[in-house]
Structure 1
């Protein structure tokens, strides 16, 4: 009997407008797959109220979220809600996707579960120069070139329940703290990269599979600031690139923090902000 599949996202009321774009676009292209909100912090009542409209449930295990907060304190002075995505590996779905809420999802995500076969972790994008690690990691001897070269964006991760465990994460913390001086600490990204590449499981990305196999049909992640990308009718126009899986408004461009004329692909963001949810 096949296991359950579902999608997690992390958000709170502070990013309500961003998350609404994520929810609207996701449900437009994925009307049926289970979706669950992992609260970024206690301030999530307004977004939780959208559950019926967009068809998602809310993570209820506060003890597990508190453990994620505790792990974040190994690297930061205050709890960082970004680390709560670690809860996904102990959640209800046997196979899952985690997707950041500052994205617009422009395709059906079912294909990603098929691409996960043979891997413990599948991200959308990897081998990104300057991501996750400082240059000093190369001379540290703490990771191999293959491991630190992975440099994945952790805004989209496909995996399976139990591939990471809290016991394993806890036991990895002492070694991870030794590597922390070489991490670009801001969010959970370098630590999650560390966990993936030292887990003993195989890891890859949609981008890497597309590059190494030559299969241009594999959809990709587009960062909103990518030159030459244009939006049209809720989609992306960029003939030189593969089909677009999702658009990601990473720093330094956030639609809710800048004037519209300064936000790349603002028309796409506004399209899904104003689109009624699929019911």
Structure 2
């Protein structure tokens, strides 16, 4: 049984709508499960259930247990966003084969079909994070101490899109990895306040053999990119993008990792297209600019 997991709360309703509109535009059948990012999830859960047949992750006790253990092992100052570790319940959910997708993504095809590569591998990713080296994931220390080899850099992936098989890890495996990482913070690059990405990379690269994991961009002569920070993508005319750096191939998805999705951001028209794909009224950009609260203005002033 295959399915898709996402994680969100009420604050990310708009992002969730855009993602789900894109998924359901190409795929009406694949089951989708929402992992609550925190307790503020009632609005997004109700909306996604009503419009996209998204169900809430049923074992809330496991989510809480993993959250509690992560906090106990790492403490409350190790990460900027510790709740991101809740996505690790993907390993214990309903789907034998699953795809995890961040909500700052839209897809351009029946994305679940990428899991066909599971006939040869146990873990999949689909991005060019590795082309940037170890930035935002590891520090040189992890190689200097022999924990990973230089060849392992090619296995680095982005934590916003990855796929695995149920039971590949159990809870004890997660906590062992958490403990190892907490004991060696010098292994990681947290300069951009990333949270789970370095840790899940550590888990996959240290626990799985190279033949078990595969980056799908290495198929054939290479697949197109996916990061919205890449400026070369061209519109297809039907709500998708092409990558001229890879033979004008159609992107499988676009990810605004590290980019705030707001009018004027890269590929804003693509995101807005999917956010209002099924809406009778599309608001002007001037109404979609996030309002800056007084507290946010004060923090910005103090930072300056």
Q: Give the superposition deviation at 1:70.
A: 2.6
User: Equivalent of 1:247, from 254, 265, 269?
Assistant: 254
The 5 Å alignment of 1:141-180 reads 141-180=146-185
Q: Distance between the aligned counterparts of 2:234 and 2:66, measured in 1?
A: 38
Q: What is the match of residue 80 of structure 1?
A: 82
Q: Give the superposition deviation at 1:171.
A: 2.6
What runs of 5+ residues in structure 1 fail to find an aligned partner? none
SS at match of 1:159: strand
State yes or no: 1:38 paired with 2:35. yes
Tell me if structure 2 keeps the 8 A contact 1:224–1:248. yes
Q: Give the superposition deviation at 1:271.
A: 0.2
Q: Give the superposition deviation at 1:178.
A: 3.2
User: Equivalent of 2:105, from 103, 117, 120?
Assistant: 103
Q: Distance between the aligned counterparts of 2:163 and 2:206, measured in 1?
A: 17
Query: Which of the pair has the greater relative contact order for Cα pairs under 8 Å at 6+ separation?
Result: 1
The 5 Å alignment of 1:173-252 reads 173-185=178-190, 186-201=194-209, 202-207=212-217, 209-210=218-219, 213-214=220-221, 216=222, 218=223, 220-231=224-235, 232-241=237-246, 242-251=249-258
Q: Structure 1 residues 38, 135: closer, same or farther in 2, change over 3 A?
A: same
SS at match of 2:207: coil
SS at match of 2:66: helix
Tell me if structure 2 keeps the 8 A contact 1:137–1:148. no
Q: What TM-score, normalized to structure 1?
A: 0.87
What runs of 5+ residues in structure 2 fail to find an aligned partner? 280-304
Q: What is the match of residue 8 of structure 2?
A: 11
Q: What TM-score, normalized to structure 2?
A: 0.80
- For residues 137-195 of structure 1, give each alpha carbon's deviation from its aligned partner in whole angstroms, at most 9, with x where no partner exists: 23132222233442211211111100111122223333222332221242101110111
Q: What is the match of residue 127 of structure 1?
A: 130
Q: Structure 1 residues 143, 160: closer, same or farther in 2, change over 3 A?
A: same
Tell me if structure 2 keeps the 8 A contact 1:164–1:199. no
Comparing 45-54 with 66-75, which one deviates more in the overlay?
A: 66-75
Q: Structure 1 residues 131, 243: closer, same or farther in 2, change over 3 A?
A: farther
Structure 1 segments of 4+ aligned residues over 6 angstroms from their partners: none
Q: Distance between the aligned counterparts of 1:239 and 1:200, measured in 2?
A: 33
Q: Distance between the aligned counterparts of 1:222 and 1:67, measured in 2?
A: 33
- For residues 82-115 of structure 1, give each alpha carbon's deviation from its aligned partner in whole angstroms, at most 9, with x where no partner exists: 1111000000101111111110011112431211
Q: Distance between the aligned counterparts of 1:160 and 1:188, measured in 2?
A: 19
Comparing 84-93 with 52-61, which one deviates more in the overlay?
A: 52-61
Q: What is the match of residue 140 of structure 1?
A: 145
CA RMSD of aligned residues (A): 2.0
Tell me if structure 1 keeps the 8 A contact 2:7–2:102. yes
Q: What is the match of residue 291 of structure 2?
A: none
Q: Give the superposition deviation at 1:71.
A: 4.1
Comparing 192-201 with 31-40, which one deviates more in the overlay?
A: 192-201
Comparing 60-69 with 168-177, which one deviates more in the overlay?
A: 168-177
**Which structure has the bigger radius of gyration?**
2
Tell me if structure 2 keeps the 8 A contact 1:7–1:34. yes
